Structure 1
Amino acid sequence: MATGTEPPPTHSGVHGATRATIGARHLRTDRWWLSPALTAGGLLAFVLYSTWRAFANADYYAAPYVSPFYSPCLSENCAPMRGGPNWEIIGGWWGLSPALLILIFPLGFRLTCYYYRKAYYRGFWASPPACAVAEPHKKYTGETRFPLILQNLHRYFFYAALLVAGILTYDTVLTFRDEQYAWGHMGLGTVVFLVNIVLIWAYTLSCHSCRHIVGGRLKHFSRHPVRYRLWGWVSKLNARHMQLAWASLISVGLADFYVYLVASGAFDDPRFF
């Protein structure tokens, strides 16, 4: 019987004094570690690739294609992009790559995304490693302290992501031109950009914040039939949010890599007409 004079428990979380004592670290018999390991490997590969491309500051434009990592090109040291989003409204920034000014917004959107939080929390921090597997951390503070409290900026990054998706849509339209910027062109790069922008929009609109904005605060769906229909459509996309997150991550990397191959002269863009 508790007397109120017992010493405080020496453990917390799953090893707390009020939890059942289980000697084994977990009772799972499957390869539970495989999923977080593959997730960490995939994310690390993209981080390494995008970091290389962002600092390269070269081979990001081959008419009429511009890499999604460098669009819109805001710095004065951008390569000439006739007819494209080469706005040059920010100074040269000591010769830094224009991509470093652009990737802040899509990167912020993905870093604070609910799915990606789960993915890299498990993959890199083992918090938790997997379902029914105790995490090695002694305490859990959630996202209430710096820097994780910044995850609450996700809803604001969503608006920036809409703007980025709109600009990439404009870039995709421009891929229907040839090197002389005459309309009526279609190459393999056009297909690559079309697939990428569809996946980018699908991932962006499947966001939990988008679902909440569209209809999450409505009390009576019957009074808002249009918003209810939109909410239902976004909810269907939201059910595939994880798949769309990975598909769009791969597609944007492939789109950049395709531009790199064409711009560096390693590959000639095949023409359909």
Structure 2
Amino acid sequence: MATGTEPHPNSGGVRTGTRAAIAAPHLRTDRWWLAPAVTAAGLLAFIVYSTWRAFADTDYYAAPYVSPFYSPCLAERCQTMHAGPNADLFGSWWGISPAVIILIFPLGFRLTCYYYRKAYYRGFWASPPACAVPEPHKKYTGETRFPLILQNVHRYFFYAAIVVAGILTYDTVLSFRDEHYRWGHMGLGTLVFLLNITLIWAYTVSCHSCRHIVGGKLKHFSKHPVRYRMWQWVGRLNARHMLLAWASLVSVALADFYVFLVASGAFDDPRFF
């Protein structure tokens, strides 16, 4: 008979008296560790690359291209004040790489994203590493305590991500100019920027927060046909959120690396017209 004082079944992890006594740590015979290992390797590679580029503070502008890691430049020391939607908000006192200011917002959006939470929870924290494989932690508190409770700011980072995507769209439009800022240019970098902004927008609007904003709190879809159609469209993108998350992560790194190669003189931007 329950007295109301029994510990919660999950308070001691999976090794409690309420679970079946199995000697093996799990009954999985497949390579269950492969998926979290690949995820961790992919995320770690991006972290290393983006950290290097953010603090390199050089080779981020090659007219008319500006790296998405450095746009918009908000300090006087930026090399791209004449190239895009830049504003000298920080004056000359800001001595750190301009990318440090910018990357807070897209990285905050991705770190709090529902898919990325699952990815790094499993990949780095083994929480849990795979289905039917117990996590090593004895206690599970979810996202109810600090610091994981801060994941709830995801919606606000979504609003910031919309602004960032708008700025990168403007940068993509500017990529149709030549190095003398004359319109009618199209190079390989223009295609790289077009691919990147397409994936950035697709990933951003496929976000769960966007889906809720578009169609949430509606009791009757029939009375809101426009929002219902938008909700359906976002829902179809949301079903591919994981794919878009990875594709946009690769594309933004590719766009930055392309600008780095051109700016450092590794090769000239091929022109189509």
Deviation at 1:91, TM superposition (A): 3.0
Q: Which runs of 5+ in 2 are unaligned?
A: none
- What is aligned with 1:264? 264
How many residues are aligned here?
273
Structure 1 residue matching 2:38: 3-state secondary structure: helix
Alignment partners' CA distance in 1, 2:41 and 2:6: 46
User: Is contact 2:10–2:140 with CA below 8 Å preserved after alignment?
Assistant: no
Instruction: Name the aligned partner's letter for residue 192 of structure 1.
Output: V
Residues 60-90 of structure 1: CA deviation (Å, up to 9, x unaligned): 0000000000000001110144241221111
- What is aligned with 2:178? 178
Instruction: Name the aligned partner's letter for residue 153 of structure 1.
Output: V
Structure 2 residue matching 1:260: 3-state secondary structure: helix
User: Is contact 1:11–1:17 with CA below 8 Å preserved after alignment?
Assistant: no
Alignment partners' CA distance in 1, 2:116 and 2:148: 13
- What is aligned with 1:50? 50
Structure 1 residue matching 2:14: 3-state secondary structure: helix
- What is aligned with 2:102? 102
In 2 relative to 1, CA 10–48 (structure 1 residues): closer, same or farther, beyond 3 Å?
Answer: closer
Alignment partners' CA distance in 2, 1:32 and 1:83: 48
Alignment partners' CA distance in 2, 1:262 and 1:76: 23
Q: Which runs of 5+ in 1 are unaligned?
A: none
Instruction: Name the aligned partner's letter for residue 59 of structure 1.
Output: D
Deviation at 1:217, TM superposition (A): 1.5
Structure 1 residue matching 2:74: 3-state secondary structure: strand
Q: TM-score, normalised to structure 1's length?
A: 0.96
- What is aligned with 2:226? 226
In 2 relative to 1, CA 92–142 (structure 1 residues): closer, same or farther, beyond 3 Å?
Answer: farther
Deviation at 1:176, TM superposition (A): 0.3
- What is aligned with 1:157? 157
User: Is contact 1:61–1:67 with CA below 8 Å preserved after alignment?
Assistant: yes
- What is aligned with 2:121? 121
Deviation at 1:192, TM superposition (A): 0.1
Note the 1:242-253 alignment, pairs <5 A.
242-253=242-253
% identity of equivalent residues: 81
Note the 1:49-68 alignment, pairs <5 A.
49-68=49-68
Structure 2 residue matching 1:251: 3-state secondary structure: helix
In 2 relative to 1, CA 223–2 (structure 1 residues): closer, same or farther, beyond 3 Å?
Answer: closer
User: Is contact 1:61–1:81 with CA below 8 Å preserved after alignment?
Assistant: no
Alignment partners' CA distance in 2, 1:124 and 1:7: 28
Structure 2 residue matching 1:87: 3-state secondary structure: coil
Structure 1 residue matching 2:88: 3-state secondary structure: strand
Structure 2 residue matching 1:89: 3-state secondary structure: coil
Alignment partners' CA distance in 2, 1:254 and 1:156: 27
Residues 231-251 of structure 1: CA deviation (Å, up to 9, x unaligned): 000000000000000000000
- What is aligned with 1:254? 254
Deviation at 1:128, TM superposition (A): 0.3
Residues 176-213 of structure 1: CA deviation (Å, up to 9, x unaligned): 00011000000000000000000000000000000000
Structure 1 window deviating more from structure 2 (217-226 vs 15-24): it is 15-24
Alignment partners' CA distance in 2, 1:69 and 1:4: 54
Alignment partners' CA distance in 1, 2:48 and 2:182: 36
Alignment partners' CA distance in 2, 1:133 and 1:88: 52
- What is aligned with 1:131? 131
Alignment partners' CA distance in 1, 2:5 and 2:83: 77
Instruction: Name the aligned partner's letter for residue 69 of structure 1.
Output: F
User: Is contact 2:63–2:83 with CA below 8 Å preserved after alignment?
Assistant: no
Note the 1:18-37 alignment, pairs <5 A.
18-37=18-37
Residues 84-141 of structure 1: CA deviation (Å, up to 9, x unaligned): 1221111344510000000000000000000000000000000001011000000001
- What is aligned with 1:91? 91
Deviation at 1:12, TM superposition (A): 1.4
Alignment partners' CA distance in 2, 1:235 and 1:114: 15
Instruction: Name the aligned partner's letter for residue 35 of structure 2.
Output: S
Deviation at 1:16, TM superposition (A): 2.0
Deviation at 1:24, TM superposition (A): 1.1
- What is aligned with 1:235? 235
Q: TM-score, normalised to structure 2's length?
A: 0.96
Alignment partners' CA distance in 2, 1:253 and 1:243: 16
Structure 1 residue matching 2:24: 3-state secondary structure: coil
